[in-house]
Amino acid sequence: MTIAEYIFGVCLFLVLYTYLLYPILLFLAYPLWQARRDWHYLRKRLNRRAALRTEELPTISLIVPAYNEESCLWDKIANIRQLDYPQDRLEVVFVSDGSSDRTNEILGSLGDPNIRTLLLPARQGKANALNEGVARSRHEILLLSDASTLFAPDAPKKLVRHFSDPRVGVVCGALEFRGTAESRQTEGIYWKYESMLRLMEGRLGATLTASGAMYALRRQCYRPLPLDALIDDFLVCMNVRRLGYNVVYEPESVATEFAPESVEGEFVRRIRIALGSFRALGELVRLPLDVTTCVALLSHKILRWILPFLLVALLVSNAFLLGRPLYQVTFVGQLLFYLWAGAGWAFRRRLGRVRFGLLGYFLLAIHVAFLVGFWRFLMGRGASSWERVG
């Protein structure tokens, strides 16, 4: 084999493995693991998903960091007041991270004894807001959420029931997206695929990360985040595993988040995710993990992070092999993908009405975003503050 053939073969395998073969492996392992769990339940009659009686519900502190959230803040407050959770067991702490709109005014006008507000004078980023909110909260179970996230009424109950198991350190909820016609054809489709992977990984005990929109953890599992942290949900779960606790996924605890209105908005968000991911990589490789979680980490995270480089290498190596019919076919296939993505960008209004019409554009955009994030990581660029994207 020539060097070009070797590079092409390795890159093609890793691309196919990441998006196709790994989900198939999960699908095959999923029923076997579920049968094992069912057998364990039949032997010991331990059901971690059983509902808790009201008097058994733990006291929880809901921490909500916010920066310029006036457009959604009243909806969040109303949503909290409608939760099916005893108010005397629920403490709410809003942390305004130097907001410059009406966020502070709204929070200051609440007059609700169950809702506390912390108004930080200067903007220092979400990680600092979380650290401050946790430090000022009182209860042993922490529920972390974004200001734009709306809970299903029973979502907190379904999260906290897992803490009856002392081995559980963090419980991750499920997320549904609402958005524009464009976001439903891009992020909406992609998130269904992502949710399927998270469900199967959760059943295998290999949940890697929470969604920052909604997750709960024990106070003793929280470690103050670095001020430049951009992927707080991932770092929190890493710390929980480092302390020897389990990370659990609860698909029945559902929250709704509003997706960026366009692929451009998602592009900005993905750059931040990429920058935070590469910053965390050094700590990540030293994390003690079981075999199943290591496979999930490599397959679902690390390969995703390097996939843009693999796609570039795949296209370039293929260009050196055009003398053979097979490689001509694969080269044309790649060009068709990039043509599909380019057409999605150029005609996004028209193709937004066609199912999967914008998916190529979305996939290419999120991979390019990781290249941009990697470049900013190398250059030491990137702030710790967060912006609402649209």
What integer best gives the mean pLDDT of the chain?
89
Max mean pLDDT range (269-273, 276-280, 366-370): 366-370
Co-location of 167 and 113 in the same domain = yes
Co-location of 240 and 349 in the same domain = no
Within a domain: 389: no
Beta-ladder partners of 33: none
Could you tell me if 280 and 373 are in contact, meaning their C-beta atoms sit under 8 angstroms apart? no
pLDDT band at 385 (very low <50, low <70, confident <90, very high): low
Q: Which of 241, 266, 288 is the last residue of a domain?
A: 288
pLDDT of residue 203: 85
pLDDT of residue 49: 55
Co-location of 113 and 222 in the same domain = yes
Q: Is 50 left (phi over 0), alpha (psi -120 to 50) or beta?
A: beta
Q: Which of 288, 314, 332 is the last residue of a domain?
A: 288
Range of the domain at 227: 54-288
Whether the pLDDT of residue 305 is over 70: the answer is: yes
Co-location of 308 and 284 in the same domain = no
Co-location of 135 and 244 in the same domain = yes
Co-location of 328 and 235 in the same domain = no
Whether the pLDDT of residue 338 is over 80: the answer is: yes
Co-location of 276 and 302 in the same domain = no
Q: How many CB atoms lie within 10 A of CB 282?
A: 8
Co-location of 67 and 113 in the same domain = yes
Among 138, 135, 141, 199, smallest CA distance to 166 is for 141
pLDDT band at 387 (very low <50, low <70, confident <90, very high): low
| Residue 4 backbone phi and psi in degrees, to 5 | -60, -40
Least-confidence region, from 106-110, 238-242, 379-383: 379-383
pLDDT band at 229 (very low <50, low <70, confident <90, very high): confident
Co-location of 207 and 239 in the same domain = yes
Amino acid at 46: L
Among 234, 272, 267, 294, smallest CA distance to 377 is for 272
Q: Mean pLDDT across the stretch 335-339?
A: 96
Could you tell me if 163 and 140 are in contact, meaning their C-beta atoms sit under 8 angstroms apart? no
Whether the pLDDT of residue 248 is over 60: the answer is: yes
pLDDT tens digits for 58-86? 999 999 999 999 989 999 999 999 999 99
Q: Mean pLDDT across the stretch 51-64?
A: 85
Within a domain: 21: no
User: How many structural domains comprise the chain?
Assistant: 2
Whether the pLDDT of residue 362 is over 80: the answer is: yes
Secondary structure E strands in the chain: 60-66, 90-97, 115-120, 141-145, 150-151, 168-178, 214-218, 246-258
| β-pair type (246-258, 168-178) | parallel
Within a domain: 32: no
pLDDT more than 90, % of the chain: 61
Q: Which of 288, 321, 338 is the last residue of a domain?
A: 288
pTM, two decimals, is 0.86
Among 119, 129, 147, 140, smallest CA distance to 60 is for 140
Co-location of 223 and 314 in the same domain = no
Co-location of 60 and 119 in the same domain = yes
pLDDT tens digits for 165-215? 999 999 999 998 887 778 888 888 898 999 999 989 988 888 888 888 899
